[in-house]
Amino acid sequence: MNVARADGKERNMKIGFIGLGNMGAPMVKRLVAAGHDITGYDVMESAMAALSEVKMDFSNDILTAAREKEVVITMLPNGEVLKGVAEAIIPIMPKGSCFIDCSTVDINTTMQLAKLLKNAAIHVLDAPVSGGVSGAVAGTLTFMVGGSEESFAIGKPLFEIMGQRMIHCGADGAGQAAKICNNMILGVTMIATCEAFALADDLGLDRQKLFDVVSTSSGNSWSMSTYCPAPGVGPKSPSDNDYLPGFSAALMLKDLTLSQQAAEINGTPTRAGKLALELYQDFVKSSKGGALDFSAILNKLSTGQEKNSKRP
């Protein structure tokens, strides 16, 4: 869907897209396919080269990606990088344009940038996503969005192209708040699910039987029913593909670090979240630097051996 004009017709938007990595690349492809006029930029030339077949422009410098654009979308690794990018382009972004950050970053950075952007008369949305690379490819991402109603109205038609659901969570920072709360639950439930498989193994309970029971009972969660960490059990997931991500353990560690930072700043007692953070810190140190999918923590928490000797 493109943007409705006052005369009721639709028109393409001039969009700068900064950060063409695992998530940014498939997101940008969907915007191009919908007819938008995109200029992409990434510090890694290889990231831009990988999109050379896509009908879009590329910029060798960050300013060209933002100059005279109605919307700039960022999909970057962390808050520090985002801050550098935003500070570079704010002075040349047109007044009334919109800065949409889809990265997952700390709320403090989001709030500081929102202030800078508003002072420059630029609309701003924090719009982190859930759904991973496969969701970005399929256009089924969920966007959790913070910002004003007016800014949200600018981003909405673009979210509809890149995703399936969008929730306007509240004012600036509310999108990032929702994202880290969601991913704290995800980290904790993945660990609980893996520990349940470890206990089932030691009790001699078949993993498939545990799945059959839990996925239809009160212990169910997305970690069990959709993204089961045990290979060969449940729907296809990274565990069936040697734990290739999916969603890497390094990214889970990043998100749990952000949720714990926010909890500490606000004095919120999140003990399970803290423990999940510590377990992922250990796992990332002891595995391939967190390159495996986050569900591979099953192999750390269980012996990986299904036992029959203690079958009740």
Positions marked active-site: 179
144 binds ligand NAD per the rule CB under 6 A: no
Stretch that binds ligand NAD, among 128-136, 199-207, 217-225, 301-309 (CB under 6 A): 128-136
| By CB under 6 A, residue 1 contacts ligand NAD | no
Query: With contact defined as beta carbons under 8 Å apart, do 276 and 188 qualify?
Result: yes
Alpha carbon of residue 48 to chain centroid = 21
Alpha helix (H) ranges present in the chain? Answer: 24-33, 45-49, 62-66, 79-89, 107-119, 132-138, 149-162, 174-203, 207-214, 222-225, 249-266, 271-286, 298-301
63 near ligand NAD, rule: CB under 6 A: no
Q: Which residue minimizes CB distance to ligand NAD?
A: 21
With respect to ligand NAD, which residue has the nearer C-beta, 103 or 299?
A: 103
Residue 174 is encoded by which pair of tokens? 């509310």
**49-85 exposure pattern, b = at least 16 Cβ within 10 A, e = fewer:** eebeebebebbeebebbbbebbbbbbbbeebebbbeb
| Contact code string over 10-39 relative to ligand NAD, x by CB under 6 A | --------xxxxxxx---------------
Q: How many residues contact ligand NAD, by CB under 6 A?
A: 26
Q: Which of 1, 43, 92, 167 binds ligand NAD (CB under 6 A)?
A: 43
Kindly tell me which of 2 and 182 has the beta carbon lying closer to ligand NAD: 182
Q: Which two tokens stand for residue 253?
A: 């560690």
SS3 94: coil
Q: Which is nearer to ligand NAD, 23 or 166 (CB)?
A: 23
Our CB check for ligand NAD shows the closer of 74 and 302 to be 74
Helix, strand or coil for residue 186?
helix
**Contact call for residue 177 and ligand NAD (CB under 6 A):** no
User: Which residues contribute to the site for ligand NAD (CB under 6 A)?
Assistant: 18-24, 41-44, 47, 75-77, 81, 84-85, 103-104, 129, 132-133, 247, 251, 254
